[in-house]
Amino acid sequence: ISITGSTRAGVLVAQAAAVTVKRVAQELGGKSPNVVLPDADLTRAIPPGVAAAFRNMGQSCSAPTRLIVPRAALDRVHELALATL
């Protein structure tokens, strides 16, 4: 389970996940993620997503400093992200 939300939501998710010992990754009250769906055009989605993380030097709460991508696309996303820098 991966969520972005408030501390209150994180507590509720962790409690619900504990019953069945689910792994939980939480970003509580932090910066926004870019969520890349399986059918996304990676060459159009990744470069602007990487660039957006550096707006205002990454110092805003809306700076999307994380990419959540399908595992199958991870290698290609990594290539595109490095090429953008």
Q: What angle do CA 55, 83, 54 make, to 5 degrees?
A: 10
Q: Which of 1, 44, 4 is nearest to 24 (CA)?
A: 1
Let me know whether 85 and 48 are in one domain.
yes
Domain that holds residue 4: 1-29
In whole angstroms, give the CA distance from residue 80 to residue 67: 12
**Residues tagged active-site:** 27, 61
Question: Could you give the number of structural domains in the chain?
Answer: 2
| Confidence (pLDDT) at 24 | 87
Let me know whether 6 and 37 are in one domain.
no
**Could you tell me which residue, 40 or 57, shows the higher pLDDT?**
40
Let me know whether 45 and 76 are in one domain.
yes
| Confidence (pLDDT) at 59 | 63
Let me know whether 36 and 8 are in one domain.
no
| Confidence (pLDDT) at 61 | 62
**Could you tell me which residue, 64 or 39, shows the higher pLDDT?**
39
Q: Which of 28, 27, 45 is nearest to 36 (CA)?
A: 45
Q: Which two tokens stand for residue 83?
A: 């090429």
Let me know whether 79 and 62 are in one domain.
yes
